[in-house]
Amino acid sequence: MSQTNTTDAHEVLFELAGHVATIVLNRPAKLNAVTPAMAARLIELVDRCNADPDVRVVILTGAGEKAFCAGSDISDLDDYASPWDFRNRPDYCDAIRQSNKPIICAINGYALGGGLETAMSCDIRLGAANARFGAPEIKLGWIGGGGMSYLLAHSVGPSNAALMLLTGDPIDAACALSWGLVSEVLEFSALRPRALALAQTIAARAPIAAETAKTNLRAAYAVPLETAVQYERDLQTICFATEDAKEGREAFKQKRTARFRRR
């Protein structure tokens, strides 16, 4: 399948205010299902944020009150020339996981299939009270391919992950909170303000330290304890040598707010 498709720029919105970038999936009539062109746009925007030193935190959310993202648009899947072309398609979840910048996902409704993978690829997840989370691929004859099994197992535990993967049935926001899939559940009207307030808090921290903390946390999933501690100690030393760390120490001594400059 050709990836030269063009998408209406309004289907994936982007805004940068201060040090916080906001990306909005804006196809609410289709539950914000992602087309190949939208996927390419998402990858482009994540890469743009990753390369921009003014961006310290990213918020990812969906338009409307019904869905964050229902995954890939199923109507497009038969357009791939072969299963191999489908397997090698550019994956926006990969781009999200590989971003250096902290990403907050504000889940404003259904997060299904690739939408759930997208949310789990982010660092912090906040859910609206009406949110629903599911891995329904098994109902259509396949399984998720954007890290679904690994991310679910690490988020909700192996038994709960198996329950979701083998039934395909969704869970509600309260269950997602109790299982640790989301950090907070809020009323819909409070979701975006809370995500912005949290993003602004993180953006006010030392950005090199924030990016390093994210890198360290991801590494913690992959290595044994002793290796993780040594890696963390090395990263701590790198952060300690930055101008921001010096500024943090001086601000503490002077009892003032630190002014971090990403140096």
Top-ranked range on mean pLDDT: pick from 73-77, 194-198, 252-256 = 194-198
- So what's the pLDDT on residue 256? 92
Kind and range of the H or E run holding 231: helix 225-240
Residue type, 14: F
Residue 1 has pLDDT above 60, yes or no: no
Between CA 98 and CA 117 the distance in angstroms is 14
Query: What band does 78 get if pLDDT is binned at 50, 70 and 90?
Result: low
Taking the C-alpha atoms of 43, 46, 47 and 51 in order, what is their torsion angle to the nearest 10 degrees? 170
Name, in order, each residue with C-beta under 8 angstroms of 171's C-beta and a sequence gap of 6 or more: 132, 133, 134, 164, 179, 181
Q: What is the pLDDT of residues 99-108, one digit of tens each?
A: 999 999 999 9
Residue 68, both tokens: 């964050």
* Marked catalytic residue, from 11, 15, 65, 117: 117
Between CA 251 and CA 257 the distance in angstroms is 6
The better pLDDT of the pair 175, 73 is held by 175
Residue 254, both tokens: 């002077």
User: 225-240 vs 243-254: helix axis angle to the nearest 10?
Assistant: 70
User: Among 156, 94, 95, which residue's Cα sits nearest to residue 125?
Assistant: 156
Across the strands, what pairs with 87?
Answer: none
- So what's the pLDDT on residue 143? 87
Sign of CA dihedral 147, 151, 156, 162: positive
Q: Please give the model's pTM, rounded to 2 decimal places.
A: 0.90
User: Among 161, 160, 163, 168, which residue's Cα sits nearest to residue 143?
Assistant: 168
Residue 5 has pLDDT above 80, yes or no: no
Sign of CA dihedral 204, 208, 212, 214: positive
- So what's the pLDDT on residue 77? 63
Query: What band does 6 get if pLDDT is binned at 50, 70 and 90?
Result: very low
CATH numbers and ranges of domains, the chain: 9-203 (3.90.226.10), 207-254 (1.10.12)
Q: What is the pLDDT of residues 188-208, one digit of tens each?
A: 999 999 999 999 999 999 999
Residue 173 has pLDDT above 90, yes or no: yes
Query: Could you confirm whether 11 is annotated as catalytic?
Result: no
Query: Could you confirm whether 117 is annotated as catalytic?
Result: yes
* Cα 178 from chain centre: 20
Residue 186 phi, psi dihedral angles, 5° rounding: -130, 160
* Cα 64 from chain centre: 18
CB of 118 within 8 A of CB of 69?
yes
* Marked catalytic residue, from 44, 137, 187, 247: 137
